[in-house]
């Protein structure tokens, strides 16, 4: 059989199998006031309330109190004695919903051809029928910033909640940020089994400088275009950058080394833009600079190795704590999309390596909400905010005890079934029956 036809048949079979597994319908709107009583309430801002009560109605939190008693009105009471209530976790900088099968190119929609793509909007490509988000909800991840990748300027991200019929329903904040990767010196040498030409350091540095100059020229032209009220010629790329210059949109810059972090922040300041640093492997070396300029950092997953052989092997675990303890607003992210279900355990690792447990919780709740500009409506359990929260029977940052038994998004009681649970049940029953026979 032709190898390409065989690959296609496997892809179709895999797609059919996956999409036949789960038929999860988005939850209906909240119609009755709900009170969760007796739980340990982790507010998300560093506060913990023992024997607390959370009351919400119409998708909004009415009160968070310490008496453990339900109001006398006609409410649905959920007794959660000995359990924990958390605000919904938020996954920033992820192409969740833009990819389904890593081995099937047709299902990958998170990158575009070209180096400057500010006009790309990830939200319109977000797939609410993906089988991945339900697996995240089962670990308490209820919101995400859907982000494009590729090129120097990748496009605009949007923040969504993970239980929706379509991308319009899912959207919490549209086009919250533009995403950019700071030019770095290309790595020379062999790779992928093929020897690459080793270029002189001077030539590599020249290429990097040219890339930065090209980027600066692009931003200068875009800023000039934004200043024209009615351009005679429409430029979609420049038009897409307008809200960077009027302060309505943030600029997320991926940069890791201390020199690149400083250079990228100064670049953004030149255009009166306050950036957010993504990655920041060496951000701990420039904490004073970051704090002085009010820069937030989205730290990539702690479960990785350091970039340099001279670094402390545990530095990836400590990085977020060093930054947070220095007074910098820190959020935590993970690469990829399936992996997002492990986000709470990244925060748990941070707590084990130098950061207070509730502050570590904030790195995936309120801190992230602040970075994304949605902290007025979500990120913590406070009156007036969205009732996006969940109940866990144990510590949600510990993979041994995280067990989400009930979750709400904007007050809606969502379905916590997912493909993994269904497969586990299916094959557990199969081999259970086999053992019985």
Tell me the per-residue pLDDT of 26-84, one tens digit each, with 9 for 90 and over: 999 999 999 999 999 999 999 999 999 999 999 999 999 998 777 777 899 999 999 99
Same domain, 425 and 284: no
Domain that holds residue 262: 90-182+232-368
**Statement: residue 222 has pLDDT above 70:** yes
- Between CA 60 and CA 409 the distance in angstroms is 10
- Computed over every residue of the chain, the mean pLDDT equals 88
Same domain, 428 and 301: no
Same domain, 17 and 121: no
Looking at residue 170, what is its pLDDT?
95
Same domain, 361 and 240: yes
Element of type H or E holding 299 = strand 296-299
Residue 10, in any domain of the structure: yes
Task: Using the 3D structure, point to which of 325, 340, 368 is the last residue of a domain.
Answer: 368
The rounded percent of the chain whose pLDDT value lies above 70 is 90
Residue 48, in any domain of the structure: no
Residue 320, in any domain of the structure: yes
Same domain, 154 and 295: yes
For position 349, which CATH number holds?
3.20.20.140
State the total domains in the chain. Answer: 2
Residue 242, in any domain of the structure: yes
**Statement: residue 6 has pLDDT above 80:** no
Same domain, 153 and 246: yes
Residue 192, in any domain of the structure: no
- Between CA 52 and CA 392 the distance in angstroms is 14
DSSP 3-state assignment of 408? strand
Distance of CA 69 to CAs 53, 54, 119, Å?
A: 6, 9, 51
* pTM score: 0.89
Residue 9, in any domain of the structure: yes
Same domain, 123 and 11: no
Looking at residue 187, what is its pLDDT?
54
Place of tokens 């997912």: 418
Per-residue pLDDT tens for 268-289?
Answer: 999 999 899 999 999 999 999 9
Looking at residue 231, what is its pLDDT?
87
Residue 73, in any domain of the structure: no
Nearest-Å Rg of the Cα atoms of the chain is 23
Give the residue among 313, 258, 254, 310 at the shortest CA–CA distance from 284. 258
**Statement: residue 191 has pLDDT above 50:** no
Looking at residue 197, what is its pLDDT?
55
Looking at residue 70, what is its pLDDT?
74
Same domain, 143 and 14: no
**Statement: residue 22 has pLDDT above 80:** no
Distance of CA 260 to CAs 134, 266, 342, Å?
A: 37, 10, 28
* Rounded mean pLDDT, 295-320: 89
**Statement: residue 423 has pLDDT above 90:** no
Same domain, 260 and 337: yes
**In the structure, what pLDDT confidence band is assigned to residue 297 with cuts at 50, 70 and 90?**
very high
Same domain, 152 and 240: yes
Residue 238, in any domain of the structure: yes
Same domain, 103 and 243: yes
**Statement: residue 21 has pLDDT above 50:** no
- 38 is written with which tokens? 């007796």
Task: Using the 3D structure, point to which of 368, 394, 409 is the last residue of a domain.
Answer: 368
The residue with greater pLDDT, 418 or 139, is: 139
Same domain, 18 and 123: no
**In the structure, what pLDDT confidence band is assigned to residue 403 with cuts at 50, 70 and 90?**
very high
């Amino acid at each position: 059989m032709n190898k390409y036809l065989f690959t296609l048949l496997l892809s179709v079979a895999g797609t059919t199998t996956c999409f036949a597994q789960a038929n999860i319908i988005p939850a209906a709107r909240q119609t009755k006031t709900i009170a969760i009583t007796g739980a340990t309430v982790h507010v998300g801002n560093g506060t913990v309330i023992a024997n607390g009560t959370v009351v919400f109605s119409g998708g909004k939190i009415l009160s968070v109190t310490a008496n453990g008693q339900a109001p006398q009105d006609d409410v649905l009471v959920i007794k959660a004695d000995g359990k924990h209530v958390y605000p919904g976790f938020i996954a920033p900088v992820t192409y969740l919903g833009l990819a389904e099968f890593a081995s099937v190119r047709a299902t990958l929609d998170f990158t575009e051809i070209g180096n400057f793509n500010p006009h790309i909007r990830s939200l319109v490509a977000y797939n609410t029928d993906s089988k991945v988000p339900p697996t995240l909800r089962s670990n308490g991840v209820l919101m995400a910033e859907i982000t494009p990748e590729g090129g120097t300027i990748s496009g605009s991200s949007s923040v969504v909640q993970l239980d929706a019929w379509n991308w319009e329903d899912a959207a919490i904040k549209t086009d919250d940020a533009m995403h950019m990767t700071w030019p770095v010196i290309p790595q020379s040498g062999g790779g992928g089994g093929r020897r690459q030409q080793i270029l002189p350091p001077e030539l590599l540095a020249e290429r990097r400088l040219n890339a930065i100059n090209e980027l600066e020229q692009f931003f200068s032209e875009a800023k000039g275009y934004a200043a024209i009220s009615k351009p005679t010629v429409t430029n979609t790329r420049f038009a897409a950058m307008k809200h960077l210059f009027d302060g309505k949109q943030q600029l997320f810059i991926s940069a890791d080394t201390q020199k690149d972090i400083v250079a990228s922040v100064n670049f953004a300041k030149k255009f009166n833009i306050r950036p957010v640093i993504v990655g920041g492997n060496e951000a701990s070396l420039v904490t004073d600079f970051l704090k002085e300029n009010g820069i937030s950092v989205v730290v990539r997953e702690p479960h990785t190795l350091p970039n340099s052989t001279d670094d402390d092997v545990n530095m990836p675990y400590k990085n977020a704590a060093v930054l947070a303890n220095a007074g910098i607003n820190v959020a935590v992210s993970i690469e990829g999309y399936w992996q997002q279900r492990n986000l709470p355990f990244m925060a748990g690792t941070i707590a084990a390596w130098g950061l207070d447990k509730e502050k570590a919780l904030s790195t995936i709740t309120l801190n992230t909400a602040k970075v994304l500009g949605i902290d007025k409506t979500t990120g913590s359990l406070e009156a007036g905010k969205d009732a996006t929260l969940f109940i866990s029977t144990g510590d949600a940052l510990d993979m041994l005890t995280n067990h989400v038994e009930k979750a709400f998004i904007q007050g809606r009681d969502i379905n916590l079934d997912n493909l993994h649970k269904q497969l586990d049940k299916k094959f557990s029953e199969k081999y259970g029956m086999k053992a019985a026979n």
